[in-house]
Structure 1
């Protein structure tokens, strides 16, 4: 069952609807912080939640949702849960790693499960075992998808080359590619590859780890449309059909970041923001992984 039809969403190649707005939970480590953030997000209309094995908060997220969904008049089927395979479990450990995520979350199933990184923890980027391991991980995810435990499967931090390799060998195509995206990093080639293959591109680090909040162009656009710089950066992605996952532990900021569907950026503002593209990455670069 898909999240409520009133939730702005994108249709995945599985036939499922994925909300355009989700809460990122990276660095949300204390159970009380997770609980407070999830509560604020549900109140603000968020219906997707993004975790990962390496975030070490899957159990806390699952517990918070089990406690808070009834409070907000919601059920498990009303939310879309994303998690990711630990790079240390890439390859032979993928089955155990994915089942561990399922167990930690304890929500019955995971709506979208991603291979978090194209490489394997402990191996050099150029190690030829990397492509072998991620191919093995994908076969495992396909198996769990067939069992209904992972409703959709996908990847994160894959380059165009990694995507082409996967598409040539997979039985089930990825539903989503999650990667860094913001005006300084428009990822034109990668998004074109995703479009060609019918894969949804989902953005993380939309604020450039906070650095873009003080960019003069972003600030000017925000001032002109009487919105926050964060709202402008998130709206820039949404207007291109890209789902976003802003992360915060602050209830007021979570609420503000969720106010994205009642305004539109002009074509000229979109162009000004996109013109900031300089290929700058604020997060780890996977392009060296073979």
Structure 2
């Protein structure tokens, strides 16, 4: 499994396991067991996923089975939008407690607005700043090895850069061939942030796209592998989610082939500014 060096020197695997909607201890345990067996060393969760405690418990049981220790894996979690602002430190500490970890490898602000507030609420910028300052403090105290943001626009990032003392290491956003966020990727590259994609498969819609299927068939790969490889070749990290052992294994096998330039262009040509998840652009 290849990795990327973040702007603070921390090494982060380029491929991780997403755990959105992976709930229930048995399901979590079986999924993580399969993932660890197939070489995954990075696991992505969040306060709002309601599975942090199960993930923490499962990893404690599974790491010895796979001959691993806490230092061999990379755990990411995220601040719940309800905890934005003055409650941020408490929200961060809840994630640490639930995952039963002395530190997390990466912690992100999950959303640029506070839960229950309208997108245009003028208090959102101050809320973001308070959350970031709380995360900076925990970063300095060794509770987080790296900090970053999720679902931020270029405008949100520019605002953060005028205020922060610790630059964000990672931006996690929706990114796939139907949502090629070129401006955002370029800004991250220029600013030294690593861009990590979620919903690389378009919440499953893209694996049945005829051009994706045709390309996958010609390469002897799955549509998911082609979509994930497309991101990796742009320097973008991926966190595919699956509870199916076969798909978990397939989604990790991304480094034994390359897409030709014309294949990359074919996939990028599917761009239609389609979002399958959330649109943060209205959040002031």
**For each residue in 1:110-134, what CA deviation from the matched residue of structure 2 results, as whole angstroms up to 9, or x when unmatched?**
0000000000001000001100101
Could you say which residue in structure 2 is the equivalent of 1:165?
A: 159
**For each residue in 1:31-70, what CA deviation from the matched residue of structure 2 results, as whole angstroms up to 9, or x when unmatched?**
1111011001001111100000000000111111111011
Three-state SS of the structure 2 residue aligned to 1:209 is coil
Q: What is the alpha-carbon distance in structure 1 between the residues aligned to residue 58 and residue 172 of structure 2?
A: 24
- Residue 22 of structure 1 is aligned with which of 16, 41, 44? 16
Deviation at 1:253, TM superposition (A): 1.0
Could you say which residue in structure 1 is the equivalent of 2:53?
A: 59
- Residue 206 of structure 1 is aligned with which of 193, 200, 203? 200
Could you say which residue in structure 2 is the equivalent of 1:3?
A: none
Could you say which residue in structure 1 is the equivalent of 2:134?
A: 140
- Residue 247 of structure 1 is aligned with which of 238, 241, 244? 241
**For each residue in 1:180-234, what CA deviation from the matched residue of structure 2 results, as whole angstroms up to 9, or x when unmatched?**
0001111001111111110000000000000000111101110000000000000
Could you say which residue in structure 2 is the equivalent of 1:226?
A: 220
Deviation at 1:87, TM superposition (A): 0.1
Structure 1, unpaired ranges of 5+: 1-6
**For each residue in 1:146-196, what CA deviation from the matched residue of structure 2 results, as whole angstroms up to 9, or x when unmatched?**
000011000000001000000111000000000000011110011111111
- Residue 210 of structure 2 is aligned with which of 186, 194, 216? 216
Could you say which residue in structure 2 is the equivalent of 1:115?
A: 109
Which stretch shifts more, 260-269 or 45-54?
260-269
Runs of 4 or more, structure 1, over 3 Å off, are none
Deviation at 1:267, TM superposition (A): 1.1
RMSD between aligned residues: 0.6
Q: TM-score, normalised by structure 1?
A: 0.97
Deviation at 1:277, TM superposition (A): 1.1
Q: TM-score, normalised by structure 2?
A: 0.99
Work out the number of aligned pairs and report it.
284
Q: What is the alpha-carbon distance in structure 2 between the residues aligned to residue 37 and residue 261 of structure 1?
A: 22
